[in-house]
């Protein structure tokens, strides 16, 4: 009886949501009982589908919110980084291939490194 109903309504059962909904044995039993004019099972089947479809829509909504928020956050970071360029990352001139201040500083440090010597403070006892 259920297979005949599925064959008669093949366009409905071709939908991925409906196919996935009826992968559960309990839902197939509810469909069979609904086809036998059991009103309680009809209500239970409708309620199960409402819950199932709401869950799918809710998950899709959450995924789209996360996607939109991540794109928005990325744009904020890009805008912030463009407005607040680090000193070492600033180009020396307007040329696209010009080196940055940080590169020049590191090159000068390799040529003439600064050597730090620890200072020892000797405290004498007060007399």
- Overall number of domains in the chain: 1
> Does 119 reside within a domain?
no
Neighbours of 27 (CB within 10 A): 16
> Does 45 reside within a domain?
yes
Give yes or no for a contact between 36 and 6, defined as CB atoms under 8 angstroms apart: no
In terms of pTM, does the model score above 0.85? no
Tokens 């405290």 sit at which residue?
Answer: 123
> Does 62 reside within a domain?
yes
Per-residue model confidence (pLDDT) at position 2: 72
> Does 58 reside within a domain?
yes
> Does 106 reside within a domain?
no
Q: Among residues of the chain, what percentage have pLDDT more than 90?
A: 25
pLDDT band at 117 (very low <50, low <70, confident <90, very high): low
pLDDT band at 72 (very low <50, low <70, confident <90, very high): very high
Neighbours of 45 (CB within 10 A): 20
> Does 56 reside within a domain?
yes
**Which residues constitute the domain of residue 8?**
2-68
> Does 25 reside within a domain?
yes
> Does 29 reside within a domain?
yes
More confident residue, 54 or 101: 54
């Amino acid at each position: 009886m259920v297979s005949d109903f599925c064959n008669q309504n093949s366009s409905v059962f071709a939908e991925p949501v409906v196919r996935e909904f009826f992968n559960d044995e309990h839902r197939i039993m509810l469909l069979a009982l609904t086809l036998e004019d059991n009103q309680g099972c009809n209500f239970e089947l409708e309620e199960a589908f409402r819950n199932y479809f709401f869950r799918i829509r809710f998950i899709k909504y959450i995924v789209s919110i996360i996607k939109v928020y991540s794109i928005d956050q990325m744009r904020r970071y890009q805008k912030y980084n463009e407005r607040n360029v680090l000193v070492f990352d600033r180009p020396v001139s307007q040329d696209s291939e010009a080196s940055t201040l940080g590169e020049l500083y590191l090159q000068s440090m390799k040529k003439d490194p600064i050597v730090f010597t620890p200072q020892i403070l000797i405290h004498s006892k007060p007399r």
